[in-house]
Structures are given as structure tokens and as C-alpha cells.
């Protein structure tokens, strides 16, 4: 599919949004959103905490992605990114579970607990890795950050609003396979078309 007739920021935002929204389904941070919703029962501060934590975390991840892209030769970067997308595709097939330590929060409020918990839960998570990879492939940087943040919100806001009742209805296995297919397609796209 030829995307060249769309502005670069539209493509970067759309691909980043879709990729992260799919990857987030059934992810550890989505389980964390469910836990926070059940504990605090205050969806607005939880949603604002998710927004702030994701913006901070994904901005750092995207910036790191641009550093990697600037440091490596385009041909080397092409294969590193393609292999990384393929690795994330395989990683996506593995269901996430919350670590024991991630269920303990201070009583400082839903917003602070969510911001801190989400920021740290995202470190090394597949959606953060995806943000790094998307930043090596798409420009402008702000569009990647906006897209990945919107993707996180698309996956987590319904969980924060509807809590435990919504989680039972998610087809997590199907979502993992679709997300893995998206990452595999991105790996193939980069391998064929290259970076940029």
C-alpha cells in the first residue's frame, strides 16, 4: 500500500496508534489499569495518570529511537529494526501477568499511584520497545509520541472506565495474535522498504 500521498505526520500517528493499541491488549499495563480501577474506583485520575506516564515514558523511548537511528548506518538499522519488530511480534504472543511487587501502591491517590506505576511498568515493556522502533522508522517524532500515547489510551481508558466487567469480555488470545501479526507485518515492511 502506497502511503506517500499522506503527510508524514498522519502516517506516523496512525501507524503508532494502531500498533500500540493492539500491542497493549492483554498487556501487563492493561492489567495494571484494571487493578487500579478496582482499587481506587476513580477513572478520571487513573486516565490522567496513564496519560502523563505514557507521555513521559514514550517521549523518552522515542527520543532514544531517534538516537539509535542517527547512530547506525541505514542498512544496519534496517535489519536491526526488522529483527526487533519480529522479536516483539513473538513476544506479543506470550500473555502478560502482573509481577507481585506491582500490586502494592501507596495511598497518595489514584493519580499519583497510576502515574508512578504506569511509568515504571512501561520500562522495558513491549509497547515501550515498539515506541523506540517506531521512532526509528517514522517522522516526525512528536507524531510517534502522540500516536503511541493515543494507542495506550484507546486500550486502557475502557478498562479504567468499566473495570473488571470489561476485562472478562476481552478476547485476549485473538488480540495477541492480531498484534503479533501487525508487528510481523512491520518487520516485513522494514525489511523490504528499509528505513525512511
| Domain assignment of residue 160, yes or no | yes
Q: How many structural domains does the chain have?
A: 1
The residue that leads in pLDDT, 33 or 144, is: 144
How far apart CA 185 and CA 148 sit, in angstroms, is 18
| Domain assignment of residue 61, yes or no | yes
How far apart CA 179 and CA 140 sit, in angstroms, is 23
| Domain assignment of residue 2, yes or no | no
- Mean pLDDT, the chain, rounded, equals 79
Distances (CA, A) of 144 to 26, 82, 150, 191: 22, 18, 10, 20
The answer to whether 177 and 50 have CB atoms below 8 angstroms apart is: no
| Domain assignment of residue 3, yes or no | no
Supply the pLDDT for residue 105. 44
| Domain assignment of residue 1, yes or no | no
Model confidence at 29: pLDDT above 70: yes
Q: Distance between terminal CA atoms of the chain?
A: 15
The residue that leads in pLDDT, 159 or 170, is: 159
| Domain assignment of residue 171, yes or no | yes
Q: Residue 99: exposed, middle, or buried by beta-carbon count in 10 A (0-12, 13-18, 19+)?
A: exposed
| Domain assignment of residue 90, yes or no | yes
Domain of 27 in residue numbering reads as: 8-193
The answer to whether 89 and 137 have CB atoms below 8 angstroms apart is: no
The residue that leads in pLDDT, 32 or 7, is: 7
Amino acid at each position: 500500500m502506497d502511503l506517500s500521498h499522506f503527510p508524514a505526520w498522519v502516517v506516523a500517528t496512525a501507524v503508532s496508534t494502531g500498533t500500540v493499541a493492539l500491542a497493549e491488549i492483554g498487556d501487563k499495563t492493561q492489567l495494571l489499569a484494571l487493578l487500579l480501577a478496582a482499587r481506587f474506583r476513580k477513572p478520571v485520575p487513573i486516565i490522567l495518570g496513564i496519560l502523563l506516564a505514557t507521555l513521559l515514558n514514550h517521549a523518552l523511548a522515542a527520543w532514544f529511537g531517534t538516537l539509535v537511528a542517527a547512530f547506525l548506518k541505514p542498512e544496519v538499522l534496517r535489519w536491526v529494526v526488522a529483527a526487533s519488530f519480529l522479536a516483539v511480534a513473538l513476544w506479543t504472543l506470550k500473555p502478560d501477568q502482573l509481577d507481585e511487587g506491582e500490586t502494592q501502591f501507596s495511598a497518595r491517590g489514584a493519580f499519583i499511584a497510576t502515574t508512578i506505576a504506569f511509568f515504571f511498568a512501561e520500562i522495558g515493556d513491549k509497547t515501550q520497545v515498539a515506541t523506540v522502533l517506531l521512532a526509528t522508522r517514522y517522522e516526525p517524532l512528536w507524531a510517534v509520541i502522540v500516536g503511541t500515547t493515543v494507542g495506550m489510551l484507546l486500550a486502557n481508558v475502557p478498562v479504567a472506565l468499566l473495570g473488571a466487567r470489561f476485562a472478562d469480555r476481552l478476547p485476549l488470545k485473538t488480540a495477541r495474535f492480531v498484534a503479533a501479526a501487525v508487528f510481523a507485518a512491520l518487520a516485513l515492511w522494514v525489511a523490504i522498504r528499509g528505513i525512511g
